[in-house]
């Protein structure tokens, strides 16, 4: 059975390292996973007052995620935490209270950075939110893709064998995690 995964890319740049990583993971995914990027850049900031008549972008986002069986977060680290667009998407998806679209779905996170720490802070901040939202996050293999500025060729393909190895182990581990936990 093929499971569909909602992929959230924390960087909004079209040619970001994170988007390229998400696309590489989609190409590497085993047959039992289909990765689909769910866009987050158009989501108005979460404001509970808007729940009376939710913005169309919120409804689109919630509907798109609701149909998926698993969640994958591919994100950079901004100021030792999550990018605001990703945090906003998490807030939109978790509301209204008791009707969030994340609960019970298996999840994973990979952080991607041109820096040497690979987004360690963002990775752990995201995990903290997901625990509260009842998303069982894959613990191993952990994935922090550091010094990612040189791992892609101009066409977006991976040219670094170490990065290919890390991503292959990660997506295979995630496929097994999803298979074990998906409803």
CATH code: domain of residue 21: 3.40.50.360
Instruction: Count up the domains in the chain and report the number.
Output: 1
15 backbone dihedrals φ, ψ, rounded to 5°: -105, 30
Angle, vertex CA 53, rays to CA 82 and CA 50, nearest 5 = 40
Give the structural domain span for 141.
3-181
What is this structure's pTM? 0.96
Instruction: Output the pLDDT for position 117.
Output: 77
CB 138 within 8 A of CB 106: yes
One digit per residue, the tens of pLDDT, for the chain of length 183 reads 999 999 999 999 988 999 999 999 999 999 999 999 999 999 999 999 999 999 999 999 999 999 999 999 999 999 999 999 999 999 999 999 999 999 999 999 999 988 877 788 999 999 999 999 999 999 999 999 988 888 999 888 899 999 999 999 999 999 999 999 987
* Beta-strand relationship, 70-75 and 3-9: parallel
Closest CA to 141 of 122, 117, 121, 123: 123
């Amino acid at each position: 059975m093929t499971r569909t995964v909602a992929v959230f890319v924390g960087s909004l740049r079209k040619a970001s390292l994170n988007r390229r990583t998400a696309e590489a993971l989609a190409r590497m995914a085993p047959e039992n996973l289909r990765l689909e990027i769910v866009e987050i850049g158009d989501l108005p900031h979460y404001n509970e007052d808007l729940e009376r008549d939710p913005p169309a972008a919120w409804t689109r986002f919630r509907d798109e995620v609701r149909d998926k069986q698993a969640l994958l977060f591919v994100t950079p680290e901004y100021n030792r935490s999550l990018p605001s667009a990703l945090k906003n998407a998490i807030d939109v998806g978790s509301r209204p209270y008791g009707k969030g679209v994340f609960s019970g779905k298996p999840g994973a996170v990979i952080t991607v950075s041109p820096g040497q720490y690979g987004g360690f802070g963002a990775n752990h901040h995201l995990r903290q939110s997901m625990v509260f939202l009842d998303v069982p996050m894959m613990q191993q293999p952990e994935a922090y893709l550091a010094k990612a500025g040189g791992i892609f060729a101009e066409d977006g393909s991976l040219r670094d064998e170490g990065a290919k190895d890390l991503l292959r182990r990660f997506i295979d581990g995630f496929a097994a995690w999803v298979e074990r936990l998906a409803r």
